[in-house]
Chain A
Amino acid sequence: MDIAGAFSYHNLIFIMKGFGITLWVAFIAIVLSFVLGSITGTLRYMKIPVISRILGVIVEFIRNLPLLLILFFTYFAMPDVGLKLGVMSSAIVGLAVFEAAMISEIVRSGLSSIPKGQIEAARSSGLTHMQTVWHIVLPQGLRRMVPPIVSQFISLLKDTSLAIVISLPELMHNSKIVIAQNFDYTLPILALVAVLYFAINYALSLAARRLENKWG
């Protein structure tokens, strides 16, 4: 074990650059997957004929595939059918599509968890359909959705590490390169990487827990 060598200035800068890419890719994918997932989840909840069915099938397919395979598709397989994306875009698209399917399911089940009786009561008191959704379903549904959505964001942050298979220069990728320089760097670098992931995810999970206690 060579702690001083492993944590040399250049190595640390290189690892932190990787961490920066991890956070950046995760951030963009979180925003995209949240928007896409909320829209598909709401459309599925509204039970629009045909559209909701088709979306349901697509969401179920994506949810039941490994993310690793989806990243292979976005980077290696899509050029076969004429869609070529860079490493960074492939990673973001793959992550966003996969996590959007997860969030769509959270949104759909959050909205469906509001008892029908409440909706019927609201409608019979004279509220329009949109007013019912806006004043009755959403405020309660959102409270139930927020904790699982934050957990999903934690998963997404962890899942960015899988982009190592398409050589995205993120935290795991860069740490593997440092480890390859010198066998004695392995343990200190793995410990550092674990601390970095842990710090950010633990902070997020504490936030999720606090929200859950407040709203649960």
Chain B
Amino acid sequence: MPDISIFTDNFEIYMKGFGNTIWASVIALLGSFALGTIIAVFRISSVKPLRWIGTAYVEFVRNIPLLLVVFMFYYGLPSLGVTLNGFICGTVGLMVYTASFVAEAIRAGIMSIPTGQTEAARASGLTYMQTMRHVVLPQAIKIVIPPLSNQFINLVKNSSILGVFAGFDLMYYGDQVASKTYATFDTYIFVAALYLVLTIPLSFAALQLERKLAKNG
């Protein structure tokens, strides 16, 4: 059994990391949702250069590791004269990386609505915005929510990348506790437990939501 005193004695250190992990996740979640939506709109836009930018972004970012994205901010930006700390680089990197997956999920959802419906809506006199708002989006959102919620669970797990760049998250402070107590295994058991406290309820909620949408949809 892991020694519970490691957790109670270092409770404040653990909580500092836990809090920062939640912060980084929430910021990156909101940011990646906003950025991902914009890129999805670019990807399905009828303007060719916009479509090209959207596609290039998604294809490039999805096919390189998150670590490399954060490297670009942490080591690449200083060459251009901008230096940011590990927390900011990690969170922004996470946002940029996750946005590509969010964009792809949103695009797939919108594309899954048959064009016949859009055409019918337009032919009945609805404007483009009205068609989107009353016909396409209400249906697309049901298709988009399950993959999006999975992406956000991945995001919480991926926030551990901050630990590689001294980003003051749970991994970083876990490392500090481990080097203080020398009880590496026990220390990381509690780190694992804290991650599970975040991700298991999220996974469960995502599953329930998916079932509910499947039933109503």
When distances are taken between beta carbons in the complex, the residues of chain A under 8 Å from B59 are 202
Q: Are B184 and A77 in contact (CB under 8 A)?
A: yes
When distances are taken between beta carbons in the complex, the residues of chain A under 8 Å from B188 are 69, 72-73, 76-77
**A 154-190 binary contact with B (CB < 8 Å = 1; else 0):** 1000111110110000001000100100011011001
Q: Are B65 and A69 in contact (CB under 8 A)?
A: no
Q: CA separation between A190 and B72, bound complex, in Å?
A: 7
**A 82-114 binary contact with B (CB < 8 Å = 1; else 0):** 000000000000000000000000000000000
Which of these, B63, B191, B196, contacts A64 with CB under 8 Å? B196
Of residues 130 through 173 on chain A, the ones whose CB sits less than 8 Å from some CB of chain B are: 154, 158-162, 164-165, 172
B7-15, B135-143, B153-161: which lies at the A interface?
B153-161
Any A CB within 8 A of the CB of B171: yes
Any B CB within 8 A of the CB of A205: yes
Tell me whether chain B's interface is mostly helix, strand or loop, or mixed. Answer: helix
Closest approach, in angstroms, between the C-beta of A178 and any C-beta of chain B?
11
Any A CB within 8 A of the CB of B66: yes
Q: Are B60 and A198 in contact (CB under 8 A)?
A: yes
Q: Are A164 and B157 in contact (CB under 8 A)?
A: no
Q: Are A60 and B195 in contact (CB under 8 A)?
A: no
A-B contact count (CB 8 A): 115
Q: CA separation between A158 and B31, bound complex, in Å?
A: 22
Chain A residues at the B interface, C-beta cutoff of 8 Å: 1, 60-61, 63-69, 72-73, 76-81, 154, 158-162, 164-165, 172, 176, 179, 183-184, 186-187, 190, 193-194, 197-198, 201-202, 205
Any A CB within 8 A of the CB of B64: yes
Q: CA separation between A80 and B153, bound complex, in Å?
A: 30
Q: Are B185 and A77 in contact (CB under 8 A)?
A: yes
Of residues 72 through 107 on chain B, the ones whose CB sits less than 8 Å from some CB of chain A are: 72, 75-76, 78-79
Number of interface residues of B (CB under 8 A): 39
Any A CB within 8 A of the CB of B71: yes
Q: Are A187 and B196 in contact (CB under 8 A)?
A: no
Q: Are A68 and B203 in contact (CB under 8 A)?
A: no
Closest approach, in angstroms, between the C-beta of A123 and any C-beta of chain B?
26
When distances are taken between beta carbons in the complex, the residues of chain A under 8 Å from B171 are 66, 68-69, 72
Closest approach, in angstroms, between the C-beta of B6 and any C-beta of chain A?
12
Q: CA separation between A172 and B76, bound complex, in Å?
A: 14
Q: CA separation between A80 and B68, bound complex, in Å?
A: 31
Q: CA separation between A77 and B182, bound complex, in Å?
A: 10
